Amino acid sequence: MAEPVFERLALVGAGLIGSSIARIARARGDIARVVVVNARTEKTLGRIAELGIADVCEIDPVRAVEGADCVVLCAPVGAYASLAAAIGPHLAPGAIITDVGSTKQSVIRDVGPHVPQGVHFVPGHPMAGTEFSGPDAGFSELFEGRWCLLTPPVGTDAAAVQRIKAFWERCGATVSIMDPEHHDRVVAIVSHLPHLIAFTICGTADDLADETRKEVLQFAASGFRDFTRIAASDPVMWRDVFLNNREALLEMLARFTEDAQAMARAVRWGDASYIEDKVMRGRKIRQALIDINQA
């Protein structure tokens, strides 16, 4: 077996992503010798202990990160600033701090100022997830065949970046390095906007008159069911994502709104060729995803 990437891995947050990393690290043995998990409540921490996916369980994030050579922030991105302020002074010299947040410019803004001299900061974003949350939602195959995007600030230690790359590769992910601003624009269209649309459609359905709403649920087609699956995602996490990537999200929403209005005009005026072209372009995108095993 290869030597572990880290001696002591501290996971601050025990939801879907954090508990999945813990499961993988415990199962493989070549990611970390010791896995420490921090959770916000005693109840969640107790469940982590019951599941047996951590070597050490800590309710205090400061105690959790002490002596760790890698700290992974796995909480909602809105909590990063306060967490970083609390744990920053206690990070070990030479340690690496990274994260799993879906926004990257805000993470650099909120965490960067609290990273002490001699500690390396390598923001990351595993492009994997489900609509479920909490420690029971995690599973060791979550990152298999998925991308993890790293957005190290200019001047980040290259060896630290390589260690985080190796960490994610051993978790099963394929790693790419990206500029933080470009990352936020890309995920705004491929992740954040689809979630915003799903939440909005389900809200529209929920606001219908009672009788119509009952029929919407009773006769829901697969398209609507897909939206409800996405809309079942963690509300706190997505609130924080929307607010912390607002500029890129609003830009993509404006572009989508213009395209939706153009489609509405085509439907209103019977422009069959425009409608057919949009449907065909959608089919092409779907086939392209299938061709690169991302479907």
Give all domains of the chain, ordered by start, each with its CATH number: 6-178 (3.40.50.720), 182-291 (1.10.3660.10)
Beta strand pairing status for 56-58 and 174-177? Answer: unpaired
pLDDT at 53: 94
Q: Which residues pair with 56 in a beta bridge?
A: 36
Beta strand pairing status for 147-150 and 124-126? Answer: antiparallel
pLDDT at 220: 74
pLDDT at 219: 79
pLDDT at 60: 96
Q: Render pLDDT for 50-61 as a digit per residue (tens, 0 to 9).
A: 999 999 999 999
Which DSSP symbol is given to 146? Answer: -
- Give every residue of the chain whose pLDDT is below 70, as ranges: none
Which DSSP symbol is given to 4? Answer: P
58 in Cβ contact with 37 (< 8 Å)? yes
pLDDT at 124: 98
Q: How far apart are CA 15 and CA 186, in angstroms?
A: 24
Q: Render pLDDT for 230-280 as a digit per residue (tens, 0 to 9).
A: 989 899 999 999 999 999 999 999 999 999 999 999 999 999 999 999 999
pLDDT at 209: 76
Main-chain dihedrals φ then ψ at residue 224, nearest 5 degrees? -70, -40
What one-character-per-residue DSSP string does 69-92 give? Answer: SEEEE-S-GGGHHHHHHHHGGGPP
Give the global pTM: 0.91
How far from 254 is each of 79, 188, 215, 224, 273, CA to CA, in Å?
Answer: 28, 12, 31, 23, 24
Tokens of 37: 């998990």
Main-chain dihedrals φ then ψ at residue 161, nearest 5 degrees? -60, -40
pLDDT at 180: 97
Rg (CA), the chain: 21
pLDDT at 130: 83
